[in-house]
Structure 1
Amino acid sequence: MDFLRLPFTCAQESAVMRRRAADLLAGQPAELVQDVLLLITELVDNVVQHTDSGGELHVVPAAGTLRVEVHDHSRSFPQLQRPDLRRAGGRGLLLVAAIAQSWGSRPTETGKMVWAQVDLA
């Protein structure tokens, strides 16, 4: 499986990223593909909603795992929060935490990187 790296600036591009990731994951179980595509959607949408500069998506296969990374220029780190039941949104990180075996964020030289990892087996 190859490494995928795609820059983005707007939410409409998440559909392109999902198609490219689905191509990369061809042959993997359908449930895994759907989980990874949902992780991509939520992480990219968070960048689009909370920053003004877009970012870059990396899908990184490693021994038995797949890591979805989103790099952006913001220094503000995501925090899991209790969702407001009166609002339609605000559940993205809860979905990421529920789907991924692990997730987190770290500072980079130009902002931050938020990642989520799933097992391939």
Structure 2
Amino acid sequence: MDDDTAFATEVIVSELATNAVRYGAPPLLLRIIKDRTLTCEVHDTSASAPHLRHARTVDEGGRGLFICAQLAQRWGTRYSADGKTVWTEQALQSQPNSRSGWD
């Protein structure tokens, strides 16, 4: 994974986990899935819906999901019988195979 994607993933995980701790209910579960895209998921047992806000400059919070939406190609929320999962999806840059030199 390239450095920009890794940094964006660190920020996304931090924001999603912080929101789950502040507004969700335990237990919390973090999953990062690398497939055709990079998916970050944070699950908690609260059914409360996350809200994308546009924080004012004087606000101390309210930027988490906005930041995630800017860094990811897609994001959303899945609800289940035991809570919700907030997820983001990032495109992966194709990188050459460093061992074989193949593209």
Please report the TM-score for the alignment, with normalisation by the length of structure 2.
Answer: 0.84
Q: For 1:45, what is the secondary structure of its paired residue?
A: helix
The reply to whether residue 29 of structure 1 matches residue 2 of structure 2 is yes
Contact residue 106 and residue 114 of structure 1 kept, 8 A:
yes
d(CA) in 1 for partners of 2:10, 2:63: 16
The reply to whether residue 117 of structure 1 matches residue 89 of structure 2 is yes
**How far is the alpha carbon of 1:54 from its aligned partner?**
4.2
d(CA) in 2 for partners of 1:84, 1:49: 20
* Structural RMSD (CA): 1.1
Where does structure 1 lack aligned partners over 5 or more consecutive residues? 1-27
Contact residue 47 and residue 54 of structure 1 kept, 8 A:
no
Please report the TM-score for the alignment, with normalisation by the length of structure 1.
Answer: 0.73
What is the aligned counterpart of 1:62 among 6, 30, 35? 35
Q: How many residues align?
A: 93
The letter for the 1-side match of 2:23 is: H
Where does structure 2 lack aligned partners over 5 or more consecutive residues? 94-103
Map residues 41-80 of structure 1 onto 2, 5 A cutoff. 41-63=14-36, 65-80=37-52
| Number of the residue aligned with 1:101 | 73
Structure number with the higher helix fraction is: 1
Q: In terms of Rg, which structure is larger?
A: 2
Query: Would the alpha carbon gap of residues 57 and 66 (structure 1) be closer, same or farther in structure 2, given more than 3 Å must change?
Result: same
Kindly report structure 1 stretches of 4+ aligned residues shifted beyond 2 Å.
none
**How far is the alpha carbon of 1:88 from its aligned partner?**
1.7
Percent pairwise identity: 33
